[in-house]
Each structure stands twice: as structure tokens, then as C-alpha cells.
Chains A and B, each alone.
Chain A
């Protein structure tokens, strides 16, 4: 490797935003045929660095080398022209167009009079699809493909330009295990033809499976690069967060209180059927199951976003009808939604206003919002939840994922809810903030809150729950106490009892 020149080299990249030094002298290089992991907590600077590479942001200082050449990347088109290709977490495809049209969008092969050369288009697309070894057709409508296959279309698009470096940003976030295997094969192929790959992920297991080297960022500063074969998960984690993680299973045993929420025979069309459970004060009940098992839909029904077709809901023993989120909030049911940016926060609004939004009607001096009281609430929860932001004036969109999630949690805690429902509490949040959020959920239970946690991550469910409810295909299959649950029994339950009809 020593005589080989890197395809991409970053040298002392610095980028500052008002009040934040987002990147502080980041340097590393990617060799041809190397899979190079980029790791760091949320807010460590990965996204900013990628935006610099993609021409979205210009660095304040430092140089980007592609091959021998120092380049300035003015905008995303230029990045692509220089052979830097991004495979984003959020896909950017035209759903109504065919696979072939998407791959060659803007560069369709032409015949005379500007007519599209469909024959050539199909032939070239087929060649690429064959290389990727996928099971869909050049003429398929992209909107009909699975997320995994749509990702393949994006990768195919990358192969049409002479890609020097391909950047994968959390590519496996919405893939099944089988789809991941296909993705990793494709990455191996890219590697074989000498493309440099930057692989961004929070998932250690993947990093150790497919990458050659790992570069780590913390607080915008480059922490070093290590060879994957010569390091351990623990070392990498330590470099990322600078402290050891508490990975133990939930073992706290405090007194449980009264039943705060009881659900009897609740159904909502085909989404979930005949669901019954209860949540006590001081208890965290984890809902575990595959995507589509009906967990989020239960939460949405309890929060008044869906109308149940049958069943009863009791709060503190009293039956309630919840027909809107406003009803739910009035009854003390609160929901931290799965989609933090889309549903949890108004990103353009400041942190304080976001936090007090549900109770803004109650916080008044005369006809006006009592801003002093709002700031007091914000300061209280900033301290309690350790929200890191210079001021309440900061727009919520400028915070890292972990801090954003704490704003949403604070929003509900400040209203002293009877039941707190948290859907995917740590989705897209880095390791360090994750364990903080877990501790927070445990602490809330210890303080006597009734907490319902929905999660797709088994370690998370095991770690925070006093009881675990396993769901499969809209039904509750089994409820486990934290002492009796085992990984095997849980997996069996969420794949439908015997496991013979596993999805």
C-alpha cells in the first residue's frame, strides 16, 4: 500500500459556524480499494465533513486532494464531476421513472433530433445491473422497488460516472439482514475495481465486518485512524466518546406504583388487533417487534392520531376517549415520536419555543406568552437533561440528534405526564448520547413516571425495560418480565410464535 497514492486526501479541514467550531483540523486519506469507516458521535462533525466534500459547505481552511490535485468543490455537481459520489440515507430518486431513466437521469443517451435512444439505455443499464447482481429490471418503476433496491439504483447511478470515491452514509439504516449482505457484496465489488469508499455508520458490527481502516472524529476534532484488524470495538468506542459505556442489562428494582395506563382489547383495523396491556407508575414497558408489527400504530392511537375500531383505554383506572393529540395531552399522555425532525420539532423554531409548545396556551401573563416562565422551564430541563446548546435562542435544527431528542423529551416532562411514550428513543443518535438517553429513561421510571418504550434494537429494549411486550403482525404474542426474558425467546416471539412464518 505504501507506494499507492490515496484517491482522496483531506488536509487540515477547518469549518466554523457562528458559535461552533464544527471541524477543527480534520485530516485523513482514503486509499484506492479501501473501505474507510468514518465514526463519531452525532455532532462530532461527520455530516459537516461530508457537506464539505460534497460542495455544500466551503471549508474555512485546509485542502482537499483528489489524486495528486488540490481541488475546490464549489457545489454538488462539481463533486460528482470530480468523481465523489454520495449514497445518502435519504434517497433522491424520481419514483415515477424507471430504473434506467433514474440511473441516467440528465444524461440519457440520444439519437438524432434529441430523441432518447431507448435501446442503448436499456443495454447500458442491463450491463450495470448485472454487475450489481440485482433482481430487478431496467424498466421497473423505481417507486415499486424496496428501499434496499432503490439504494442499489443509487449505487448503479454512481457507477455510471467514473467514481473515485463513494461515500455511504448510514446505508443499512433501513435494510434487512439479507439486503445488507447484497449491499456488502456490492461494496466488495467497488473495492475490487479500486474505488475508495468512505463508510459512515453507527453500527460497530458492520464496521468490523467490512472496513479496512477507521477514522474517528470527536467534537469536530480528528482523533486518529486505526486499522480495523488491529483494534477492538471497545477501543473505537473509547476514542469516540472518551469514556467507557455502561452496557449492563436493566437490574434496577424499585417499587412499582399503581397502574397508570391500561389498554383492553384495543384494535385499529388491520394495523393491530385485540391488544391488552398495562403500564404502572415507575415502570418502563418495552415494546419489541419488527417494523410493521403495529407498535408505532398503538402509540399513535393512544396519542389520538388514529381512531381505534374497538377496545378501551383507561388512565388511572378511569376510561377515557382520546380523539386528538390535544385530548391525549389533556389526559396526560405524551408521545416522543419516531421521526424526530419531521414530527418532534419545528426545526426553524428556537429551542425554548419548541420545548414549551404544547403548553403555550397555559403559560400566560395577561394575553401574552410568559417568556420568563418559558425560559425558566427551558433552563430547568437543560440542566436536568444536560442539553448542550449555547442558548435557548438556538434553532432546534442546529442541534445534534441527541440534544434534539432531549428537547422533545423535555417538552413532555415539563408537563408532568401520566404516561410517556417514547418511540425509537435513540434512532440516529450516537453511542454516547444513547446511553445517556437510556439512563434518563431509567431515571424517569425511578421518579415514578409510567414509560412505554418502542424500539427495534434488542439491546436497548433489554437495557431499559422492566417488562417487554413482544409483538408480531399486529398482535401481542407474549409479555416478559426482565428476569425471565432471554434473547432466544424474544426472537421467537417477534417472529410469530413457532418462527415458521418469520418475515
Chain B
């Protein structure tokens, strides 16, 4: 017991691999460009991670319940376009709740299909990715959306405002993370999400309504997407109708990086926040050392695969195994 075996080192590597890799990245980036760890830059990373982070909070619930949500990117484009359009038509005060209601309807549809009809979540949300994209284009007539009077509206407060010297998107992210963290870790609903994802049959045999639990997870995810869309729209007061494209994979990457298992039943909001920050810092670091932004796409994927590998390795208890 007293001596540390090679096996234990391997286990530690497998379990803490992401944090170790993250630390290595951080040190390397700081050496390459000392600006990396300056307060301004850290703030800017967190701020630009907020939209992704808020979406990741909702997807964390979906993933822990044992499902996937690949529709969040195109759903975010939808929310952004809708709220911008309605802003000029019915005013921001009505546009925001109207946009939330419409986005929640989409979440409810997915939740119904996956939760109550028990369709495969990968198929459903992959289909919805495409369907919602079409819906957005139909709604906008293929046009980008801009607020007519950008000077005369208070709508920019969610994306551009500051409170107590902190950017509002960061405040929203932190507040939602705290709220949803409590919901997941401390409420009966959170407990049921873990149970359904951990063993759906055993949850059913304990009287938990699986369909309803999964349905609510997708509603939560849609609410987070709507919030992210609101911030996105408010930040630029105008938007392309593909603004969220590809975000679904980054969101999933962040959730998995945090250590939630794609099999369901494990993960926490705190870990997801860590995953979001890791992703944000690495992407920022790549830019600071002078790589073009599109390198991110490749690196993000390498990170996802690394994360999935380490997740499985931790379960198997070794990095490589000839059997599943």
C-alpha cells in the first residue's frame, strides 16, 4: 500500500489527465505570450466563453440524463434572429418573452420526442439541427437581421453592459451556473436526472417518470439557449442567421471536458464550467500565439477526442485496453 505502483500513476493520469493537460497548456501559452494571464485577457476569455458556457449548462442536464443535444447551435441562431426581428416589431420588452416562448416550444418538441416517444436523441437532435436552421432561414427570408435604431435602444445591456464593473454576460453566466448547479446537485429533480441517466430501468422501478424528467432537461436546455441567444443579439444588435453554427460541438466538448460521461449518470455543473473555461483559454491561447482562428476547429476536435479517450480510460482503469 505504501509504495506507489506504476498502475496507480496510470490511474491518476487517466483521471486527472484533463487538468494536467490544461496546466501544461496554460504554462506553455504564458511562456509564449506573457499577455495570456493578464487580468484583461482573462476577463475577455470568460466574457467570450459566457455564451458557450450558458448553453453548456443546459446541455449538462441533457447529457447526465443519458441523452445528447446537437440542436443547441442552430437553436441559438433561431433565438438570436427572432429576438432581433421582434425587437423592431413589438419592442424589446415583449420581444424577449416572445422569443423565450418560441425557443421553449422547440425544446418541448425535442423533449416530447426523446422523453415521451423514446426516440434516439442523437437522431432527433441532429434532425432538429437541420430543421431549426431551415426554420430560421424561412423566418428571416434568408436575410441577416439588424436592429434599425441601434443608438436608441436599451437592448444592448445584456451583451454590452457592466454591473459592479463586471460585464453583464459574465454575471448572467455565473448566476445561472450557481442556480442550475443547485438545481442539479440539491433538488429532487436533479437527483432524478442522475437516476434516469445512471439506470433508466431502475429509475422507472423507483417510480420516477423518465419521460417527464428528460422532457424537463430539454426545456432547461432550450431556456439556456434562449438566454445565450439574447446575449448574442444584444452584443451586436444585429446578426447573421448562422451565428450559432457549430456551437453544438463546442458545447458538447466543454461538457465532456468537464468529465460528464456520454453514457449518462455522471457530471456536475461545476465540472462543466471548468470544461468551458479550459476550452476558452485554449482557444484564446492559440490566437495569442499567433495562429489563425480556424486552427481552433481542429484543436477543439483533438481536445474532444482526448477527453473521450481519457473518460473511457478512467472507467477501464488504464489508458489502453484490447477489449472494450
Residues of A within 8 A of B (CB): 16, 58, 60, 75-77, 303, 305, 324-326, 328-330, 335, 337, 339, 342-349, 353, 357-358, 360-361, 363-364, 367-369, 411
Contact = CB atoms under 8 A, between A and B. Distances in A.
A58 B192 contact: no
B199 A347 contact: yes
Nearest to A326: B207
B188 A325 contact: no
Nearest to A347: B199
Interface string B175-202: 0000000100011100110110011011
A411 B187 contact: no
21 contacts: A75-B322, A77-B323, A305-B205, A324-B207, A325-B205, A329-B206, A329-B207, A343-B202, A345-B199, A348-B198, A348-B265, A349-B198, A357-B203, A358-B206, A358-B208, A360-B188, A363-B188, A367-B187, A368-B182, A369-B186, A411-B206
B314 to A, nearest CB: 13
Given A346-B202, A346-B203, A353 B191 contact: yes
B1 interface: yes
B323 A75 contact: yes
A325 B202 contact: no
Give the top 6 A-B pairs by smallest Cβ distance, nearest first: A346-B198, A329-B207, A368-B186, A357-B206, A360-B188, A346-B199
B207 A328 contact: yes
B204 interface: yes
A357 B199 CA distance: 12
A342 B194 CA distance: 15
Given A76-B323, A346-B195, A347-B198, A325 B1 contact: no
Interface of B: 1, 7, 182, 186-188, 191-192, 194-195, 198-199, 201-209, 265-266, 321-323
B186 A326 contact: no
Contacts of A361: 188
A357 B202 CA distance: 10
A349 B203 CA distance: 11
Contacts of A77: 322-323
A364 B209 CA distance: 19
A328 B186 CA distance: 26
A103 B244 CA distance: 51
Contacts of A76: 322-323
Contacts of B192: 360
A343 B195 CA distance: 11
A345 B194 CA distance: 12
A328 B323 CA distance: 42
A412 to B, nearest CB: 9
Nearest to B200: A346
A346 B265 contact: yes
A342 B323 contact: no
A500 B305 CA distance: 62
Interface centre among A324, A326, A346 (most CB of B within 10 A): A346
A378 B134 CA distance: 52
B207 A325 contact: yes
Contacts of B191: 353, 357, 360, 369
Given A76-B322, A325-B205, A346-B199, 9 more contacts: A326-B209, A328-B207, A339-B201, A342-B199, A349-B195, A349-B265, A353-B194, A357-B195, A369-B188
A368 B202 CA distance: 22
B266 A325 contact: no
A51 to B, nearest CB: 11
Nearest to A328: B207
Contact of B205 (A343, A347, A349, A369): A343
Contacts of B202: 342-346
Given A343-B202, A345-B202, A368-B186, A16 B1 contact: yes
A360 B207 CA distance: 10
Contacts of B194: 346, 349, 353
